Structure 1
Amino acid sequence: MSWLGIYLRGVLMGAADIVPGVSGGTMAFITGIYDRLLGAIRAFDLEVLGMVVRGRIKDAWEHVDGTFLLTLLAGIATSILSLARLISWLLEHHPIPLWAFFFGLILASALVLLRQVGHWNPARVASLLAGAGAAAAVALSPALGLDNAGLPAVFASGFLAICAMILPGISGSFILVLLGMYAVVLTALKSLDLGFILVFAAGAACGLMCFSRLLHWLLHHYHAATLALLTGFLFGSLAIVWPWKEALGWVVGSHGEPRPVQQVPILPGQYQQLTGEDPQLWLCLLLAVVGGVAVWLIDTRWNRD
């Protein structure tokens, strides 16, 4: 795989991470680098620490697939720095067409990945349904309200948010919203609350090390069933990116603005009746098709790069 191909995959991951509810892990999954990314993350262990201590920097770099990670991170950073304002503007002024694009992208991704499962049996079907059910349950859940639960809740929030970020279909920021910790984390970051940040970072580091190892092991020992499970997560996450939604609950966002915490999908006609706004149905259908075509291009070109 060329460095340019890896860099472009990073750009796609960064663009997805900017959108609340869309995971960069989704892009890693559909562009064929998911397993390699998990392997590189799990390579940060005691062995690589020993290499660094003994001055074997080159061996440590190769052990963690450093060139791959650095190139991928460069793509992610480029995307975030260059697209953050554009996507934030689209989310504020044209959210429905943007969600429609991501809906088409994720739906097409899930359909493409169904082919990779291979022979279907009851266990793989059950894995697919379990993944879809779990992601849909998360997408439709109300906030838990852990904002006053103390440092153990902060650690657990970091742990769960990073696990969600690794999984395709569910974003870490969305999990923080569901836990009631989104505004709390943002406030701590803005005020540089080092104690809070260190506990949250420790939870995220533990989650990253533990969960990446678990997923890597599952993909190597139960590849088809795990692939079916992850594909199910993509199908279930469609409830998050469905363009027309009704908000049932709200939290305070990063700038003090109300932010929906629990939303349920509704039909375009119901959305128009509820809000009085144009559902932009034909534009949404067009952008969903564009998203599907984009996945086809990724699958036929970059996924073979």
Structure 2
Amino acid sequence: MEWKNIYRGMVMGTVDLIPGISGGTIAVLLGFYDRLIAAINGIFSREWKKHLAFLIPLGVGMATAIFTFSRVMNWLLKYYEQPTYYFFLGLIIGILPYLFRESEARTTFKWQHILLLAIGIILIILLPLSPNEGAIIEHKTLSTYILLFFSGFVASAAMILPGISGSFVLVVIGVYKTIMHGVSTFDLKVIIVVGIGIALGILTMSKIIHYFLMHYRTATFALIIGLVIGSIFVIFPGWAHNLSQLVISILVFTIGLFAAYVLGKVEY
């Protein structure tokens, strides 16, 4: 078992709670995105034991973070939304140097890769920036659980792509509050239905990403970098309205940059 993946999973799980930020982006920062995609894609191969030894600690870390920090994150977004997003803004911008390094952009990027990068930015910017989160669904029917299943499937497919937030997709669909409430109150029906959707979505999307990384690695990284840059526009919380807010925003933004630097140095 690769036990250090527990802390990696905890970082990914915490980030996946935030609408606008992708756990896949953190996997790139921590230097194991390729390995993650290969492990998910190889679960049903002959080397399934090796891949499970990588994925199980990662899953334990993610689950621990999601169940532990879901209420904390709800509280931060409710009372300190702007500073919270400025921290993650710094984290995302701090990730970009590692992305360019991993893709060897200086020597491999040509005009078509710059075009793909621009397309990635535009795709994210075109997402609705102020979607209706929807109210918590109290009375759940069969159609509700079908919606939750497909929401988990679509969100997980987005979650594994750097730059596209699974939580943000849930906000767009209108089930984010319902799922977060289900997790924080330990509603087993919601957790199981959404969990199955997430698992199937990750398995499906990993095969697609694995194919493109194997055959079009530079082009894939160009698009990923574009998606990550685009996510900056998605989570930007607006400018501070007074001096105290400005100071706090600059401070937490700097902490986010420093966190990305430290995490990148540790892993690379």
In the superposition, the TM-score normalised over structure 2's length comes to: 0.80
User: What CA distance in whole angstroms lies between the structure 2 residues aligned with 1:87 and 1:200?
Assistant: 19
- Pairing of 1:1-305 with structure 2 (within 5 A): 3-45=2-44, 47=45, 60-62=48-50, 65-117=51-103, 118=105, 119-140=108-129, 142=131, 156-182=150-176, 203-244=197-238, 267-268=239-240, 272=241, 280-303=245-268
Q: Assess if the C-alpha contact under 8 Å between 1:139 and 1:237 holds in 2.
A: no
Q: Which amino acid aligns with 1:113?
A: L
For 1:117-145, what per-residue CA distance to the aligned partner results, in whole angstroms no more than 9, with x for missing partners? 32321111011111111112125264599
Q: Assess if the C-alpha contact under 8 Å between 2:213 and 2:220 holds in 1.
A: yes
Q: Assess if the C-alpha contact under 8 Å between 1:5 and 1:302 holds in 2.
A: no
Aligned pair in 2 of structure 1 residues 235, 83: CA closer, same or farther (>3 Å)? same
Q: Assess if the C-alpha contact under 8 Å between 1:10 and 1:74 holds in 2.
A: yes
- State the SS of the aligned residue for 1:290: helix
| Deviation for aligned residue 1:216 | 0.8
1:259: which partner in 2? none
| Deviation for aligned residue 1:232 | 1.0
For 1:175-200, what per-residue CA distance to the aligned partner results, in whole angstroms no more than 9, with x for missing partners? 12212344566789889796x98876
Q: Assess if the C-alpha contact under 8 Å between 1:103 and 1:243 holds in 2.
A: no
Instruction: Calculate the aligned-residue CA RMSD, in Å.
Output: 3.3
Aligned pair count reads 257
| Structure with more of its chain in strand, by fraction | 1
| Deviation for aligned residue 1:87 | 3.1
- State the SS of the aligned residue for 2:40: helix
| Deviation for aligned residue 1:21 | 2.6
| Deviation for aligned residue 1:170 | 2.3
Q: Which amino acid aligns with 2:250?
A: L
Aligned pair in 2 of structure 1 residues 3, 209: CA closer, same or farther (>3 Å)? closer
Q: Assess if the C-alpha contact under 8 Å between 2:87 and 2:255 holds in 1.
A: yes
Q: Which amino acid aligns with 2:58?
A: L
In the superposition, the TM-score normalised over structure 1's length comes to: 0.71
Q: Which amino acid aligns with 1:104?
A: G
User: What CA distance in whole angstroms lies between the structure 2 residues aligned with 1:86 and 1:188?
Assistant: 15
Which protein shows a greater Rg?
A: 1
Q: Which amino acid aligns with 2:113?
A: R
- State the SS of the aligned residue for 1:237: helix
User: What CA distance in whole angstroms lies between the structure 1 residues aligned with 2:74 and 2:149?
Assistant: 28
Q: Which amino acid aligns with 1:32?
A: G
User: What CA distance in whole angstroms lies between the structure 2 residues aligned with 1:205 and 1:72?
Assistant: 14
| Deviation for aligned residue 1:110 | 2.0
| Deviation for aligned residue 1:115 | 3.1
RCO (CA 8 Å, sep 6+): is it higher in 1 or 2?
2
Q: Which stretch shifts more, 168-177 or 26-35?
A: 168-177
Q: Assess if the C-alpha contact under 8 Å between 2:42 and 2:48 holds in 1.
A: no
For 1:147-184, what per-residue CA distance to the aligned partner results, in whole angstroms no more than 9, with x for missing partners? 9xx68866653332111111122222211221234456
| Deviation for aligned residue 1:236 | 0.6
